[in-house]
Amino acid sequence: MENIEPKTGKFALNYGLLLGGITIVFSLMLFMMDMHYERSTATTIVNIAVMIAVICLAIYQFKKSNEGYLSLAQALKVGIGVALVAAVIGIIYMLIFTSLIEPEFWDKSFEMAKAVMAEQNPELTSDQINNAIEMQKKFLWLTYPFILLFNLFAGFVVSLIAGLAMKKSKSEY
């Protein structure tokens, strides 16, 4: 009697929903603490660490349910799938956040960017800073595809490393 191999999509969906949920909770926590405009290194490290942990957990759980066997292709499918689901959830959350929860998010972000530009480049005139901000506003829509591409790339790298570390082939005999 042959065992049925678990589906990578099921693990990708479940753990992608988990990662997306954790990301939203973390973002809302930052919002409640009025820290959502800060782009600190610590915040980035926490987000990346959570992503790594959830993807590795998903791959490990898949391997466990597959009688301890895991191919690199399966690890990549699970890891990239988790990253894709989490990215879609993150993009939807970002759209809701910037249009309903805090509609002035982008305006405040651009005002903060003006202040940073003026501080870091004192030789820039006010018109030059305003022109740079207007150019950024024109390319604001690129934020969403960038989130998707970054998540997919990070998911690929994490799942590749985790897959190589956890890989175990079935015996031919």
Each residue's pLDDT tens digit, 152-172: 999 999 999 999 999 988 776
Q: 67 Cβ partners below 8 Å, 6+ apart?
A: 3
- Return the amino acid letter for 69: Y
Split into its structural domains, the chain has a count of: 1
Tell me the C-alpha distance between 148 and 162, whole Å: 21
Residue 3: pLDDT band with limits 50, 70, 90: low
Examine residue 171 and state whether it is found in any structural domain, yes or no: no
Tell me the C-alpha distance between 48 and 55, whole Å: 11
- Decide if 51 contacts 26 (C-beta within 8 A): no
Higher pLDDT, 17 or 133: 17
Examine residue 12 and state whether it is found in any structural domain, yes or no: yes
- Return the amino acid letter for 66: N
Tell me the C-alpha distance between 130 and 148, whole Å: 28
Examine residue 107 and state whether it is found in any structural domain, yes or no: no
Name the residue among 106, 11, 121 with its Cα closest to residue 57.
11
Examine residue 45 and state whether it is found in any structural domain, yes or no: yes
Residue 1: pLDDT band with limits 50, 70, 90: very low
Examine residue 77 and state whether it is found in any structural domain, yes or no: yes
Owning domain of residue 70: 8-102+143-166
Residue keyed to tokens 């790594």: 52
- Decide if 83 contacts 16 (C-beta within 8 A): yes
| Tokens standing for residue 106 | 């982008």
Mean pLDDT, residues 31-36: 88
Which DSSP state fits 5? P
Examine residue 134 and state whether it is found in any structural domain, yes or no: no
